[in-house]
């Protein structure tokens, strides 16, 4: 088991709190206030967009952060025969740099237009190639984060895409996971698949990573979580674990569907 780290470790980092929308999608409770890593991604795109000038062929800049904390950038290429959006250009730039899975993506328009939502094609490509990434999107409260899967509900999934997967954790869980004291995580509307996966811990100044394997994903209701599930999570009891989940997902119902995800390190 090898831990990978970019930057220095933050003392603590609270998990984001997600609100549930009526359509079942999720949005960060503190909309408009981006975490530090995502703010750096947005700043990179804004800086690049400001250099584009009046060139009609290049009017949108994009930036993406991979799970090592590196930021990759690119601009769109417009042509009357068709051309790639900035998001697709940055995916290629990241791949050329050996980036692996991307954690966050954003596009910004020139001329001070700010954050732009990805088009339908870009949403499909991101979902197929980087299904665990977050997309910075414009909202009435300012730029905010949304999981790419929520930007394209009910989407077709490319059967041969085989993207590298990762599972996000708050920084404070790193020591427990690395020591083997935490071998499970309970997720609500946060799909995890069985198989190899990076376990990514979000510090304020980058990410730390552990290589793992997701052994099983057991769907159940929140009120069906067991004491054994809690023990694997590092909680004292099923009730204590449910209380923690209610803090993470305000308004979650007792019969809400959750996934109990078990994993081990490699």
Q: Annotated catalytic sites, by residue? A: 87
- Show the CA angle centred on residue 167, arms to residues 170 and 161, nearest 5°: 155
- Copy the structure tokens of residue 188: 């609500």
3 state SS of 177: helix
Residue 226 gets which letter from DSSP? Answer: -
69, 206 Cβ separation under 8 angstroms? yes
210, 178 Cβ separation under 8 angstroms? yes
Q: What are phi and psi of 173, to 5 degrees?
A: -90, -5
Beta strands 134-137 and 102-109, pairing class: parallel
Q: How far apart are CA 204 and CA 55, in angstroms?
A: 36
258, 238 Cβ separation under 8 angstroms? no
Beta bridge mates, 209: 4, 200
């Amino acid at each position: 088991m090898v831990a990978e780290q970019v930057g220095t470790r933050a003392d603590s980092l609270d998990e984001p709190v997600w609100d549930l929308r009526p359509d079942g999608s999720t949005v960060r409770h503190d909309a408009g206030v981006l975490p530090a890593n995502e703010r750096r991604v947005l700043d990179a795109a804004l800086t690049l967009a400001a250099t584009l000038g009046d060139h009609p062929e290049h009017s949108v800049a994009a930036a993406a952060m991979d799970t090592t904390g590196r930021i990759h950038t690119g601009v769109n290429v417009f042509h009357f025969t068709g051309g790639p959006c900035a998001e697709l250009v940055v995916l290629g730039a990241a791949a050329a740099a050996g980036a692996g899975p991307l954690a966050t993506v954003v596009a910004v328009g020139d001329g001070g237009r700010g954050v732009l939502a990805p088009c339908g094609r870009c949403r499909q490509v991101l979902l197929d190639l980087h299904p665990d990434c977050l997309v910075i999107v414009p909202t009435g409260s300012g730029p905010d984060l949304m999981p790419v899967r929520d930007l394209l509900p009910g989407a077709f999934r490319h059967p041969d895409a085989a993207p590298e997967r990762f599972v996000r954790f708050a920084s404070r869980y790193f020591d427990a996971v690395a020591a083997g004291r935490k071998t499970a995580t309970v997720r609500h509307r946060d799909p995890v698949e069985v198989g190899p996966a990076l376990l990514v811990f979000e510090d304020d100044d980058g990410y730390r990573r552990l290589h793992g394997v997701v052994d099983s994903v057991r769907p159940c209701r929140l009120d069906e979580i067991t004491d054994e599930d809690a023990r694997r999570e590092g909680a004292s009891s099923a009730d204590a674990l449910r209380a923690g989940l209610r803090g993470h997902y305000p308004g979650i119902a007792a019969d809400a569907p959750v996934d109990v995800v078990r994993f081990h390190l490699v």
